[in-house]
Amino acid sequence: MTRKITRVLVTGALGQIGSELTDELRERYGRDNVVASDIRSDESSPVVTGGPWVVLDVTDPETVEKTIVDNRIDSIFHMAAILSATGEKNPQLCWKVNMDGTLNILETARRNNLARVVIPSSIAAFGPETPRYNTPQETILRPKTIYGVTKVSGELLCDYYVRKYDLDVRGLRYPGIISSETLPGGGTTDYAVEIYYKAIEEGRYTCFVKKDTMLPMMYMPDCIKATMNLAEADFDDLVHYSDFNVGALSVTAGDIAESIRKHIPDFEVDYEPDYRQAIADTWPTGVDDSAAREEWGWQSDWDLESMTEDMLRKLRMKLLF
């Protein structure tokens, strides 16, 4: 049986996805029914000023429990994490936040009989032994980054809680997310966002992966749509729970530059690959998302050209006026 989402906690709400997801959740469930949280605060952010807000470190189990109980939370969207590039600089922190944090969320949800927990995974769950093209839903999961290790472990842990405790836990393997609202927080796919900012601010960009590096990407409106469609799907229709492949775009860094050049003809890009190239080279170029399509009707709305046009329009408003 699928229970209703009524009182929500968002962790990592100041992050790239959390900030826009909080906005959507407040629209859907009512401003006062969505408690946003993060380990840090930012008084200038609408996440902090636009509704209930608490500072919450997800690695602290007592505070997680108290926040859930005090705010009568029935559903958690767990966005707090350390991403791939930052994770390689501090693997111990990545494990602590991603694994201890996830376990604290699942345990609190189990003890308090919550209605729903949404915990994202990533294309980082895959590795060099995984088929790179149209990567299947069920495939080899042997990531080489600590972030990827936590994502695979997180998927398995979430599915364990579904089967062992009947807890309603769901999650998607997001591709690289491209957005204009909040800058990304230390991932390998950050170049796909930075390139738009630099196109407008400086007319040139030095990209940290090679021109022909192709990865799966998704525009933020599609990311929010996918998250909400899965979160609100009928649980009985699901065969998978915490590891849905979701596809939208498969583009190279050069493709993105070219699409920007249609609007800014003088835009210059050079390519100086760093340690993140080796991470990108272990990830798929695109994923087979037929399970998401069949089980909860996934379909993306944005292609590269429509995304670029929208990104540039929004960033011009944000950065130039």
Of residues 12, 18, 127, 187, which one binds ligand AKB by CB under 6 A?
A: 187
Of residues 9, 80, 215, 231, which one binds ligand NAD by CB under 6 A?
A: 80
Of residues 79, 230, 307, 311, which one binds ligand NAD by CB under 6 A?
A: 79
Neighbouring residues of 188: CB distance < 8 A, sequence distance ≥ 6: 83, 84, 85, 124, 176, 209, 276, 279, 280, 283
Q: How far is the CB of 181 from ligand AKB (least distance, A)?
A: 15
CB burial readout 86-97, b (16+ within 10 A) else e? bbbeebeebbeb
C-alpha distances (whole Å) from 124 to each of 4, 46, 112, 193, 243 are 31, 30, 31, 18, 12
Q: How far is the CB of 20 from ligand NAD (least distance, A)?
A: 9
Measured from the CB atom, the residue of 57 and 255 that comes closer to ligand NAD is: 57
Residues 14-33 that bind ligand NAD (CB under 6 A): 14-18
Q: Which residue has the tokens 């601010």?
A: 201
Neighbouring residues of 253: CB distance < 8 A, sequence distance ≥ 6: 191, 192, 195, 207, 209, 210, 211, 212, 213, 269, 271
Mark the segment that binds ligand AKB (CB under 6 A) among 31-39, 119-127, 154-162, 251-259.
Answer: 119-127
Q: Is 133 a catalytic residue?
A: no
Closest listed residue to residue 220, CA positions, set 53, 24, 7, 36: 24
Binding pattern for the stretch 232-261 against ligand AKB, x by CB under 6 A and - elsewhere:
------------------------------
Which residues are marked as active site?
A: 147
Chain contacts with ligand AKB (rule: CB under 6 A): 83-84, 122-124, 147, 176, 187-189
Chain contacts with ligand NAD (rule: CB under 6 A): 11-12, 14-18, 38-40, 56-59, 79-81, 83, 97, 101, 120, 122, 174, 176-177, 184-187, 189
